[in-house]
Amino acid sequence: MKTNPLTLEHYLDIATEAALAGGAVLQQYWGKLDHVIEKGRSGDLVTEADTAAEAAILAVIQRHLPDHPILAEEAGALGNSDSPFLWAIDPLDGTTNYAHQYPFSASSIALLIDGIPQVGVVYDPFHQELFRAATGLGATRNRQPMSVSQTSKLSQSLLVTGFAYDRRETPDNNYAEFCHLTHLTQGVRRGGAASVDLAYVACGRLDGYWERGLSPWDIAAGIVLVQEAGGQVTAYDQSPQILESGRLLATNGLIHEALSDVLIQVEPLALPLP
């Protein structure tokens, strides 16, 4: 489905309004949580801030685009599944950080068209940083153009990753990759919010990011940010099956092949099951 750039700009404005609304709610609840519960998996938290921020975001999108379906982390799938459009929403990416008052969280809003992320907004209200992008329209941080880094060697790169909620139970984890790449690079960070990690790759603070066990609402917005900022996003094996595989590799493009090669070669670290 072809989309007019002016239409994408309109969708980008709606996504921005929604992300700002979600971020405002996160600020209101900061340090005032009464209910923090696990959603079934150890460490997978949800708070009243998650649900309130999601309600604010849904209200914006449904007011502007009542016919567009939505995939929200807390509410699930809403609307007509036959539509070429799909909004992927994470009202509070980095809930564990937020619950501990560690200020590395964001509201993440993306629009997929025919299954492809085309609009992405990530808003970090704690550092007042608004990251925006749409296909063909470039990427910005606080309305100023941004671009990926120019680091061309893995040995000179700074990377980031994350660990899935099932990391305690499955041998399919990235502990071995984390250790191996810590020795091959200038460092590996663990932020705890995929959307912010991707935004940091897009603005050049980080050179690459990889993670497994991800959902569309975690990464769809960030994919657009990195691509429009001049970077590259694929699955670990450099295939385009990002959302399907749940294994995302995002870089400045210059270290993409080298990082992909390492991820494919490193054997998983076998952990004793509890």
Instruction: List, as residue ranges, the binding site for Mg(2+).
Output: 73, 90, 92-93, 218
Residue ranges of the binding site: 73, 90, 92-93, 218
CA angle 71/92/189 to nearest 5° reads 115
d(CA 181, CA 202): 20
State CA 106 to chain mean position distance. 9
* Residue of 189, 199, 60, 53 whose CA lies nearest to 124: 199
